Amino acid sequence: MPLERKIHKYPLDIVGIQTLKLPAGSIVRGFDTSPDKLNLCIWVDHYLDSDPMKSDRMVPREFHIYGTGHTIPSNLNFHDMTIQGDYVWHLFERDLS
């Protein structure tokens, strides 16, 4: 029987670099503004056996947010982009493995 999954929302700050602890093996599925349009969030897909409360299954993930026209290092992997009012934000991740 296949494992079941859940998608959770994680808020992000509008800063250049930030690290979140996420369940091992999780996949970023989306990047957008929150429903109130005030915050940026990522939606992360992970298996139900990846209990976010178990610290031994959490791994650091380093996310970078850049505005359009900003210089972006070549060692980052692109995830998604979103529009927030007059701003367009682009989400990247640096591989920490």
pLDDT computed for residue 50 by the predictor: 52
Q: Domain locations in the chain? A: 5-94
C-alpha distance from residue 3 to each of 46, 47, 50, 81 (Å):
10, 7, 10, 29
Q: What is the pTM of this model?
A: 0.85
User: How many Å apart are CA 64 and CA 37, to the nearest integer?
Assistant: 19
Amino acid at 21: K
Q: What is the pLDDT of residues 15-28, one digit of tens each?
A: 789 999 998 889 99
Whole-angstrom CA distances from 88 to 2, 64, 93 are 38, 14, 17
Q: What is the pLDDT of residues 37-96, one digit of tens each?
A: 788 999 999 877 655 556 567 899 999 999 999 999 999 999 999 999 899 999 999 999
Task: Give residue 46's pLDDT.
Answer: 87
CA distances 16 to 31, 38, 63, 91, Å, are: 15, 17, 8, 10
pLDDT score of 42: 96
Both ends of the chain: CA-CA distance in Å?
A: 30
* pLDDT value at residue 2: 66
